[in-house]
Structure 1
């Protein structure tokens, strides 16, 4: 009986938490950054000319509250101004919103 209740609570917890689960993914096609933006003190992002169909509104967000996020935004600005391509984007997806966790520039 106790075992069955524990399983029930576990399954209910999964159902409740599932919508908030983030999925890690990669984009490996070269992308050209056409627009960058920052919002408030902790969010930035970019759009590409090829589009980011995986992400809502075609936006890849960057979390500026971390040192890694600040470094990625610096990479994005450099790539845009120098005409470099982003050749790999590691990101997590929460709902339809994408947040970059790693970038490779060429």
Structure 2
């Protein structure tokens, strides 16, 4: 479940809800509600959580997509994410966007 994945990943990284709020720009009260599954999460927030929690978005929503944990790659690191962003910028520059 998405709520469980956010909470578990946050705890694995040793990040409090308050710290996650500061880093992501999402209110701590909202994070609390997301982690309990009380409210739905927008795609933009899923992407923010994935970035801050250093994991692919598919990892967070794997159950909702009907994927087993083995079908989703392990969470990526900040260094890997930075490399992907650099490649994306290069590709966009080449195609002119």
Structure number having the greater strand percentage: 1
Bigger RCO (CA 8 Å, 6+ sep): 1
Whether TM exceeds 0.5 here: the answer is no
**TM-score band, normalised by the shorter chain?**
under 0.3
TM-score, length-normalised on structure 1? 0.26
Structure number having the greater helix percentage: 2
